[in-house]
A = this chain, B = another copy of it.
């Protein structure tokens, strides 16, 4: 006999907004956070679902994010750059404020960037990538994290897990989207191995002396490794440069200095590039969206998969059947709603 509870997407959204409001977030912050948390649950992406509420509240309680922040658009400094000052709130609210301006700009100039400064990262980048593609634009998004990854050939944490995400719009169906860490594995996966008493696969991490290790404890004390060897290390360095230094925001080592912990959501900036395929393809033969479908068909036709398909399948199920939470998950929501920030120890 199941004790699970099924809620509509809208009902879960209202529930999460209420919890976040009770914990002191203003409606702008609570609304934006609730949307990505519910998107995670909706897509059966549990690691970015309601599980994340506690982390967000822990960061609020630690005073490292402003729950009352009202992000603001910074007056234009350059024609292809839209900048939002997150006012030390969560990135999600700042993104929502900047998105219409980014879309308008990219349509007009063909290519535009949204820079988010002084924000606290929360959740994945795919909700933002998908939001851009809904306007018929392609998106490339990146941000630093905190220093937990050694550059290839190095021995100490310096780079972040620095995620990179990309999206391409598709008519009548979810976009082509990838979103991944530029480290071999996420830090959370190493933590899960530690708790389970399991060895890590080879190639994930090095110990404090820079020697390869499969011991999770040694890995957490040492450093993670970039994906794809020196190539992934170079991409991760590019992300520090473009989405940290270039936009006048923190690098991953600086984030760690500021926070003093990898258990709080990182404070930094974010870079979102939006491309107008219509503008880029202007005057050339062929419709870019139709041609892209041909490429996707060729990928799927040989048995390879497009990224994010598992999420999209779960999304379709959630849309028709709602989102099902376990008894423990509902109890956790009840507890958070009753106690607010006092639930965070």
Contacts and interface: CB of A to CB of B under 8 A. Distances in A.
Interface stretch (A61-69, A75-83, A86-94, A333-341): A75-83
Interface string A256-280: 0000000000000000010111011
A251 interface: yes
A156 B302 contact: yes
Given A108-B79, A232-B228, A302 B247 contact: no
A192 interface: no
Given A155-B302, A178-B234, A295-B240, A280 B248 contact: yes
Interface string A147-181: 00011111110100000001010000000101010
Given A111-B111, A240-B295, A288 B166 contact: no
Interface in A216-247: 227-234, 237-238, 240-242, 245-247
Contacts of A233: 304
A282 interface: yes
A212 to B, nearest CB: 15
B154 A302 contact: yes
A198 interface: no
A305 interface: yes
Contact of A153 (B113, B245, B248, B303): B303
Given A232-B231, A307-B230, A115 B78 contact: no
A205 to B, nearest CB: 15
A210 B302 CA distance: 10
A307 B276 contact: no
A195 interface: no
Q: How many subunits of this chain does the assembly comprise?
A: 2
A249 interface: yes
Contact of A80 (B80, B138, B246): B80
* Size band of the interface chain A makes with B: 35 or more
Given A154-B302, A302-B156, A247 B284 contact: yes
A317 interface: no
Interface string A113-134: 1010100000000000000000
B238 A227 contact: no
29 contacts: A74-B283, A77-B282, A78-B282, A80-B111, A81-B279, A83-B283, A109-B109, A111-B273, A113-B280, A138-B241, A140-B238, A158-B302, A166-B234, A168-B241, A178-B231, A178-B234, A182-B231, A210-B303, A234-B307, A241-B292, A241-B295, A245-B281, A245-B291, A245-B292, A247-B284, A248-B283, A248-B284, A251-B295, A253-B298
The 4 closest A-B pairs by CB, nearest first: A248-B284, A228-B228, A78-B110, A154-B304
Interface of A: 74, 77-81, 83, 108-113, 115, 117, 138, 140, 150-156, 158, 166, 168, 176, 178, 180, 182, 210, 227-234, 237-238, 240-242, 245-249, 251, 253, 273, 275-277, 279-286, 288, 291-292, 295, 298-299, 302-305, 307
